[in-house]
Chain A
Amino acid sequence: MIPAPFDYEVAESVEHAVELLGGREDAKLLAGGHSLLPVLRLRFARPALLVDIGRIEALSYVRDAGDRIAIGALTRHHDVVGAALLQEHCPLVPYAAGLIGDPQVRHRGTIGGSLAHGDPAGDLPAVLLALDGEVDVVGPEGTRTIAAAELFRGPFETALGPQEVMTEVRVPKLTGDHGWSYLKFRRRSMDWATVGVVAVVKGNGSIEEAAVGLVSMGATPLRARATEQALLAGESDPAALADDGTDPPSDTNGSAEYRRHLVRVLVRRALEEARPG
């Protein structure tokens, strides 16, 4: 399967990419290509122009940004997995990145590409959502910051405008009072999650903060709000509410009913794993 023809330009900088995107209707950004190229090969998308930002080396980094860790949007999953700053301050992110696809995919795929693709079955969107992370995007009007809660709009749809380029991803530093878990249920190791569950819990003794992110349980990554509230209220079985407000798909990996069952099981396990103490 060969993609339909397209034009191709290499962006030398973010500003150049914004300019190139503005020059053509139906232009798409190409980073690592591991979300986009499979879609092009299946001809689910036929952009007129690909703007290759994969050579902008300045967008590949992991930095300490005070109470947050800043990750350049073009940082490959492989490099996120190995980043000492993330291992120290927010190990959930490298752990989840290490479960994406397989080594070959992680050698090419980027954190910004995964988030901008907006796949509700992707691992990192739900992780960013549960962490209340944020991203910077640059467009013709300059830079703006988008909170994770505002980023994901629909299946494969994000708040990024057609001429905007994601440049940085920021996640909070977790402390000793935080516990976390990411459970990804899939049939083969390389597959997307049938259901994935992120849990981030803060509290020494009693629970002060709780965030539960869900993968593949609706049109976007979701927060299990009913479970979070039940946890904070000290109710006995918060995981039983994990599918409240979800709209899981039925596909070859499982029916909606199966996913509703699975998510309750996985949330229960993830909370046991994440609960400090």
Chain B
Amino acid sequence: MRRVSLSVNGDQHELELEPRELLVYVLRERLGLTGATVGCDTSSCGSCTVLLDGESVKSCTVLGVQADGHRITTIEGLAENGALHPLQESFRTHHALQCGYCTPGMVMAAVSLLAENPRPSEAEIRHALEGNLCRCTGYQNIVRAIEAVA
């Protein structure tokens, strides 16, 4: 076991982790943050996307111990004072989700994109979502929702 210090959504956590524990399971099973989902388990689908120091990563492909001392943001950390993040609000108003399974990952990928490129073109938005799969095929509305905030 290894002692790890994680800042998750602004809260500091001191945890004893097995080195093989993947960050997504640390978030879901140790911290009860079930927003990041496990879709493919092969680093493909992006439904486990969270921010590590502000940048999107697939939390199924990061060890909890690698995140030691770093800042994690999950979908649960986006809303402030009960008000949804503008991207969350835009996903809602543009009907950018059907089953919702990929949605936390899509929103976090979009947050990461806009942090780096606040005015992306439609093509740039589509390119930025290449690591996130939606099997309801809701891409059109997802792209529209992000465009509306950009």
* Interface residues, chain A, with chain B CB atoms under 8 Å away: 1-8, 30, 33-34, 37-38, 40-42, 50, 52, 54, 78, 101-105, 107-108, 188-190
Interface size, chain B (Cβ < 8 Å): 32
Candidates B41, B42, B46; contact of A102 at CB < 8 Å = B46
The answer, among B20, B21, B42, B66, for a CB contact under 8 Å with A38, is B42
Question: Shortest CB–CB separation between residue A68 and chain B, in angstroms?
Answer: 29
Q: Does B143 contact A (CB under 8 A)?
A: no
Which 6 residue pairs of A and B lie closest in terms of their CB atoms, listed nearest first? A102-B131, A8-B19, A189-B130, A3-B20, A102-B130, A107-B55
Tell me if B103 is interfacial: C-beta within 8 Å of chain A.
no
B61 touches A50 (CB 8 A): no
Q: Which of A4, A105, A190 lies in contact with B20, CB distance below 8 A?
A: A4
CB A33 to nearest CB in B, in angstroms, measures: 6
18 more A-B contacts (CB under 8 A) besides A104-B109, A108-B61? A2-B22, A8-B63, A30-B63, A33-B61, A33-B63, A33-B66, A34-B43, A38-B42, A40-B20, A42-B42, A50-B19, A54-B66, A102-B130, A102-B132, A104-B57, A105-B43, A189-B127, A190-B44
Answer yes or no: B49 CB below 8 A from chain A CBs. Answer: yes
Shortest C-beta distance, A3 to chain B (Å), equals 4
B54: nearest chain-A partner, CB-CB: A107
Question: Across the interface, do A107 and B56 meet the contact criterion of CB distance under 8 Å?
Answer: yes
Report the minimum CB–CB distance from A171 to chain B (whole Å): 25
Q: What residues of chain B lie closer than 8 Å to A102, measured between beta carbons?
A: 46, 130-132
B142 at the interface (CB under 8 A from A): no
Q: Does B52 contact A (CB under 8 A)?
A: yes
B38 (CB) vs chain A CBs: closest residue: A1
30 example contacts (A-B, Cβ-Cβ < 8 A) are as follows A2-B20, A2-B22, A4-B20, A33-B63, A33-B66, A34-B43, A38-B42, A38-B43, A38-B61, A41-B22, A41-B42, A41-B60, A52-B66, A54-B66, A78-B55, A101-B131, A102-B130, A102-B131, A103-B56, A103-B128, A104-B49, A104-B56, A104-B61, A104-B109, A105-B131, A107-B52, A107-B55, A107-B112, A108-B57, A189-B127
Residues of B within 8 A of A104 (CB): 46, 49, 56-58, 61, 109, 131
Chain B hits for A5, CB < 8 A: 18-20
The one of B55, B56, B131 in contact with A190, judged by C-beta atoms closer than 8 angstroms, is B131
Among candidates A6, A7, A41, A50, residue contacting B41 with C-beta atoms closer than 8 Å: A41
Q: Is B134 an interface residue (CB 8 A)?
A: no
The residues of B that contact A188 with a CB separation of less than 8 Å are: 130
Complex: chain A residue closest to B44, CB-CB: A190
User: Do A108 and B62 have beta carbons less than 8 Å apart?
Assistant: yes
A108 CB contacts on chain B under 8 angstroms: 52, 57, 61-62
User: Would you call A103 and B66 a contact (CB within 8 A)?
Assistant: no
Which A residues are in CB contact (< 8 Å) with B43?
34, 37-38, 101, 105
Which of B18, B60, B112, B131 counts the most chain A CB atoms within 10 A? Answer: B131
Q: Evaluate contact between A8 and B130: CB separation under 8 angstroms.
A: no
Give the complex CA separation of A238 and B43 in angstroms: 38
Check A52 against B65 for contact (C-beta < 8 Å). yes
Nearest CB in chain A: distance from B131 CB, A: 3
A7 vs B17: C-alpha distance when bound (angstroms): 12
Residues A37 and B65 in contact in the complex (CB < 8 Å), given A2-B22, A102-B46? no
**A105→B65 contact, CB < 8 A:** no
Could you tell me the distance between the alpha carbons of A190 and B58 in the complex, rounded to whole angstroms?
13
List the A residue with the shortest CB-CB distance to B113.
A103
Q: Could you tell me the distance in whole angstroms from the C-beta of B76 to the nearest C-beta in chain A?
A: 19
